[in-house]
Amino acid sequence: MFTNLEHLGLAVHDLEAATALYTTLLGNTPYKREHVASEAVDTVFFQVGGSKIELLAGTSPDSAITKYLAKKPEGIHHVAFEVADIRAEMARLRAAGFVLLNEEPKQGADNKLVCFVHPKSATGVLVELCQSVPAAANSAG
């Protein structure tokens, strides 16, 4: 079951400039900064009620965000939904014909297991499923 619109992921060129802009826009300071080595991205998170804004900047030419911004302007990169059981949702979506970008859930930012649905399966929107995992389990790998 999808339980919440967890966050919007925004691709940005300049993370410091975007963080300053969103600090002013939202009237709130970020609650977390995190480098995700596996994705070669730096992230900054803002809480907005029950949802979040995730700013993403690539840290290498191989980063999906760097490649995205080589082709497209800054803006909404993905829409993330919290799910109760990511493996169950992945199986359900696969059976319904959706193309998943990863076979197994992977470790994402902010203590989440994540999986992405290809935009061609979802009206041009890159959809992220995410399931919260305890921080201890996260650091244990």
Cβ closest to Co ion, residue 93 vs residue 129? 129
Q: Give the shortest CB-7-to-Co ion separation in angstroms.
A: 6
- In the region spanning residues 38 to 97, those forming contacts with Co ion, defined by CB under 5 A, are 54, 80
Among residues 9, 30, 58, 105, the one that binds Co ion under rule CB under 5 A:
9
Cβ closest to Co ion, residue 9 vs residue 105? 9
Confirm if 62 and 76 have CB atoms less than 8 A apart. no
User: What ranges in the chain are assigned the alpha helix state H?
Assistant: 15-26, 64-71, 86-95, 135-139
Cβ closest to Co ion, residue 3 vs residue 97? 3
Q: Give the shortest CB-55-to-Co ion separation in angstroms.
A: 10
Dihedral angle sign, alpha carbons of residues 125, 2, 128, 95: negative
DSSP string, 102-130: -SS-EEETTTEEEEEE-GGGTTT--EEEE
| Candidate ranges 27-35, 61-69, 96-104, 127-135; the one touching Co ion (CB under 5 A) | 127-135
Return d(Cα 131, Cα 111) in angstroms, integer. Answer: 8
Residues that contact Co ion, how many (by CB under 5 A): 4
Q: Give the shortest CB-79-to-Co ion separation in angstroms.
A: 9
Beta-bridge mates of residue 106? 114
Q: Give the shortest CB-53-to-Co ion separation in angstroms.
A: 10
Report the number of secondary-structure helices (H) and strands (E) in the chain.
4, 8
Chain residues in the site for Co ion (CB under 5 A): 9, 54, 80, 128
